[in-house]
Amino acid sequence: MGVIIGKKLLDLSGIDPFADVNIEVSGTAIIITSIKKRRPVNRKLETWGMQIRSAIQHGQKPGKSVWKNDVSKSFEKDWVW
């Protein structure tokens, strides 16, 4: 699906003309938002424990996990390959 948007409207919106966008409808409004680039997925398992602990310290609430959210050195040792 494509939508043509005038340059003046794009300039006023601040949306990069070459960026991907989300287009959604809410009632009688059409909402166009730029898609934010997400950080790449961290595939380095040895850093997950540190990241989880940091997220919890900064107020994130961990979901339930099969390991009961216990990220210990023994967990990292057993599950890092």
Instruction: Return d(Cα 30, Cα 13) in angstroms, integer.
Output: 14
Side-chain half-sphere of 25: how many Cα atoms within 13 Å?
2
Residue 12 makes CB contacts below 8 A (sequence gap 6+) with none
Per-residue pLDDT of 5-43, as tens digits, reads 788 888 888 888 788 888 888 899 988 888 877 777 777
Flag whether pLDDT at 58 surpasses 80. Answer: yes
Q: Stretch 52-69: mean pLDDT, rounded?
A: 73
